[in-house]
Amino acid sequence: MIASSSFDKTPFDKARGIGATSGVNSRASHALFKLFAYETLERWASVGALIEDVTGASGSSSERLPAMVCEALRERHRRVFGFIASHQSELECAFSAGKLTEGKLVEQANKLPEAVRVLRQSQHALAKIERLLAQTGGLQQRAELGFLMSETRQWEIDQPARNRRAKANRVRSSADKPDPKFWTVYEEIQQIDAADWDHPAWAASVAWPVTPSRLPIRWAQNPVGWLLALRSQITQLSARLLAESAEGHKAMQTLRMRLPSVAQQAYGADVVLAALIGIRCYGPAWYFTRVMEAVNQFDTGFLQILEPLMFHALNFFNFSDKNLVLMHDSVLRGLPLWQQLAEVKPAACARAESGLYAEAAHTGPEADALGGSFALNEALTDALDNVLSWAEDQLPDAHACQLTQGVFTDKHLKRCAPMEDILGDDMLIASHRPYSLAHVNVLLQEKYGDSLDVDASGVPVSGQAMHGLHGAGGFSSVLSSVHSPGSTSGHSGPSGHLMSVYHLIGMLAEEPISCREMITAGWLHKLNRASVMVYDTLLTSAFETDNLCSAQCPLPAAALRFMNHVNSRSRLLLKSMETAQVHQMLMALPTQSSAQWPSKPWYDSEKALAAPSVPAPSESVSANYAIAAAAMASLEI
């Protein structure tokens, strides 16, 4: 386990006051497990929504898959969920809700590996469905397949009475068959089975690191994890910064010397720097994304080595949020369990992991070799601070104009917390107001008093206004006030201020929010609600396998609720990003060309990520900003 002595000096730990008891470790393990479970279920929900979208039940896609492929996809998806549902009792034990003694918590922690195994297997199956979706009708390929689909549909219409399986076989052998792509895919879908989780072919197709062409299509609809697509740009930027700065080179050399040798072998200096530069450019969202990716992949090497460095970088840049502390604490205390789970490889998963968790497999042994020796001691902290100061100099706030929106600062994070609440209310988070509503309300009340409220009959409800209309002064006094010279819009306030109503209306003008902040708000929302949603989904009484076979309700109610929640949040985030783009354009602020518009990455991430060109190392330092700007362009506005 990682020694936490150096963390005790941080303000987070002083505020935290959590001891390293076994109960706390169990609780942290549970926290890590909940995040893992939430991630799995969210992925399941996203894929479910994508299937519904592609197959035409409720979505918005313009092209549809052939009915037989749709049905096969749905069936397999239901089967995956049925697999989770059939292991409900194991999950329930691991998820024992609240009011637990520490002894019970430790007892429950022993059952976590079994629950993790269940979720892990379902993840494998979902990854396979994702790959099939990407082949058949994912958003990226949809436009290309449009013509093919219409042909296939016509072919289906011509032969409505035939058996689907027989049709597939016949078409394969006939001369006038449509493109064999569908039938190959259909056969693959048919071959997925619960016992087939570890098929190496599909596992290899989702190997990391993520390249644009391999980007899982669920990220096209769920932007919260989409930052990972920018990893290659961040790596480029850090390599460029390092190559062009002697000072940085020196700082990195020092850091390299201070890092334990095992950590150096596991992660080179460029990987460490890229993680830190990512924090500088994207803030806590980068931390959340990378940590959740590592949790999802059982990448204990990352959790053990890079996560403490990234958390230190968050401290360095003054990012403070309770979710950051909770996540770091969960990783810190839950790491032993996660190491244990990474070592336990069920036979069904072993072969799959060779492809899917290639990175984790690579770093696993080194991480194990670290044991409890890795710690952020004073010398290492100093070296890290030097590197971070250098990164701060290289990417300063003053160059914000070159970086489109500048680096991510603590001010951005402070704006994200209320946005998370707004997102929780199912509201758009595309913009924010420079003036608070309360402030405008005070000015409004000061100027127009109680004459604002009217009841349903149109009569002012305030006593003062009623008196104004019906009193001795009566109508003439109202008329005189209406025509008073100080009143621009036909009203005069009791305070006699000369503020026009246009001033007050103008104070409601909103400013667009950057995509980075929206994604961060999405992460905060996700972390705050993960436990509740997971409990609700896994422990509700409506979660019964019997419902799976029902034609009217193909998925359990709790699962549908979870799916609706995840999908509504994703849709709101995407709509917020699009709205912010239009907002930015109308504010006459620098905006992207249509090729860089965020809708393109959702549908065609390859183009968007291929857009920035890498200049030669001999070019000026400003080229670094060009890379950073290009990297952010797909997220920034």
Partner 1 sequence: MTLLNETQMLARLVDPDPDRRLVITPLIRPEEQFGPTSIDVRLGTDFQVMRRTNMACLDLAGDPQKLAADVQRASHWVKVPPGEPFMLHPGEFALASTLEFVRIPLDLAARLEGRSTWGRLGLQIHATAGFVDPGFCGALTFELSNVSTMPLPLYPGVRIGQLCFYQSIRTNMPYNRKRYSKYSGKATTATSAFFQDPEYARIRAAMNETPAGAEFLQPS
Which residue, 365 or 418, is less far from partner 1 as judged by CB?
418
Stretch that binds partner 1, among 25-33, 248-256, 393-401, 450-458 (CB under 8 A): 450-458
Cβ(505)–Cβ(495) below 8 Å:
no
Q: How far is the CB of 434 from partner 1 (least distance, A)?
A: 12
Under 8 Å CB-to-CB from 435, ≥6 apart: which residues? Answer: 507, 508
Cβ contact 275:306 at 8 Å: yes
Question: Which of residues 97, 243, 400, 582 is near partner 1 by CB under 8 A?
Answer: 582
Q: Identify the residue among 204, 466, 549, 586 touching partner 1 (CB under 8 A).
A: 586
Candidates 110-118, 192-200, 434-442, 514-522; binding stretch for partner 1 (CB under 8 A) = 434-442
Is 441 among the residues that bind partner 1 (CB under 8 A)?
yes
Compare residues 434 and 474 and give the one whose CB is closer to partner 1.
Answer: 434
Site for partner 1 in 122-161 (CB under 8 A): 157
Closest to 415 in 3D by CA, of 503, 350, 510: 510
Contact residue for partner 1 among 8, 151, 393, 426 (CB under 8 A): 426
CB 83 within 8 A of CB 194: yes
Q: For residue 425, what are its two tokens?
A: 């209310």
Q: Which of 528, 535, 579, 611 binds partner 1 (CB under 8 A)?
A: 579
Q: Of 173, 174, 457, 613, which lies in the binding site for partner 1, with binding defined by CB under 8 A? A: 457
Alpha-carbon distances of 445 from 468, 483, 493, rounded to whole Å: 17, 20, 8
Is 214 or 571 the residue whose CB approaches partner 1 more closely?
A: 571
Interface with partner 1 in residues 469-498 (CB under 8 A)? 489, 491
Choice from 4, 61, 96, 354 touching partner 1 (CB under 8 A): 61
Regarding 462 and contact with partner 1 (CB under 8 A), the answer is no
- What sign has the CA pseudo-torsion 619, 622, 628, 629? negative
Tell me if 499 contacts partner 1 by CB under 8 A.
no
Q: How far apart are CA 157 and CA 616, in angstroms?
A: 56
Out of 506, 607, 619, 621, name the contact with partner 1 by CB under 8 A. Answer: 506
> By C-beta, is 22 or 147 nearer to partner 1?
147
Q: Please, which residue, 381 or 481, has the CB nearer to partner 1?
A: 481
Residue 218 makes contact with partner 1 by CB under 8 A: no
| Distance (Å, whole) CA 27 – CA 616 | 50
Report how far residue 93's alpha carbon sits from residue 114's, in angstroms, rounded to the nearest whole number.
Answer: 10
Which of these ranges, 113-121, 275-283, 379-387, 422-430, lies near partner 1 under the rule CB under 8 A?
Answer: 422-430
Residue 434 identity (one-letter amino acid): P
Question: Would you say 20 or 508 has its CB closer to partner 1?
Answer: 508
Told to check if 572 binds partner 1 by CB under 8 A, we report yes
Q: Is residue 432 classed as helix, strand or coil in its secondary structure? A: strand
Q: Tokens 């701060």 identify what position?
A: 392
Smallest distance from the beta carbon of 452 to partner 1, in angstroms? 4
Of residues 225 and 512, the one with the C-beta less far from partner 1: 512
Question: In 10 A of CB 508, how many CB atoms?
Answer: 11
User: How far is Cα 144 from Cα 139, in angstroms, rounded to an integer?
Assistant: 10
Instruction: Give the residue, chosen from 350, 401, 427, 482, that forms a contact with partner 1 under the rule CB under 8 A.
Output: 427
Q: Could you say which of 308, 468, 512, 612 contacts partner 1 (CB under 8 A)?
A: 512
The answer to whether 288 and 523 have CB atoms below 8 angstroms apart is yes
**Which of 15, 20, 57, 243 is in the footprint of partner 1 by CB under 8 A?**
57
Contact (Cβ atoms closer than 8 angstroms) between residue 525 and residue 423 = yes
Q: Is 560 in the site for partner 1 (CB under 8 A)?
A: no
Size of the site for partner 1 (CB under 8 A): 57
Q: Which of 64, 218, 412, 529 binds partner 1 (CB under 8 A)?
A: 64
8 A C-beta contact, residue 362 and residue 63:
no
Among positions 101, 173, 594, 618, the unique one binding partner 1 when judged by CB under 8 A:
594
Distant-in-sequence, close-in-space partners of 381: CB < 8 Å, separation ≥ 6: 6, 312
* 1 binding partner 1? (CB under 8 A): no
Nearest approach in angstroms of CB 41 to partner 1 is 21
For 516-551, letters b (16+ CB in 10 Å) and e give bbbbbbbbbbbbbbbbebbbbbbeeeebeeebbeee
Segments in 174-216 forming alpha helices (H): 180-191, 200-205
CB of 62 to partner 1, least distance (A): 5
Residue in the block written with tokens 């449009």:
146
User: Based on CB atoms, which residue is closest to partner 1, 139 or 335?
Assistant: 139
Task: List the interface residues with partner 1, window 68-107 (CB under 8 A).
Answer: none
Angle 193-196-200 from CA coordinates, rounded to 5°: 140
Closer residue to partner 1 (CB): 3 or 504: 504
Contact (CB, 8 A) for 223 and 209: no
Dihedral of alpha carbons 155, 157, 162, 163, sign: positive
Is there binding between residue 588 and partner 1 (CB under 8 A)? Answer: no
Give phi and psi for 96, each to the nearest 5.
-35, 115
Alpha carbons 354 and 258: distance in angstroms, whole number = 32
Selected binder of partner 1 within 24, 539, 587, 614 (CB under 8 A): 587
182 binds partner 1 (CB under 8 A): no
Q: Which two tokens stand for residue 377?
A: 């001691």
Nearer to partner 1 by Cβ, of 457 and 618: the residue is 457
Interface residue with partner 1, options 417, 440, 478, 557 (CB under 8 A) = 440
Q: Which of 63, 55, 206, 141 minimizes the C-alpha distance to 604? A: 141
Question: Are the C-beta atoms of 502 and 488 separated by less than 8 Å?
Answer: yes
Shortest reach from residue 207's CB to partner 1, in Å: 31
Contacts with partner 1, residue ranges (CB under 8 A): 56-62, 64, 157, 426-428, 430-431, 437-438, 440-441, 444, 448, 452-458, 489, 491, 501-502, 504-506, 508-510, 512, 568, 571-572, 575, 578-587, 591, 594, 597, 599-600
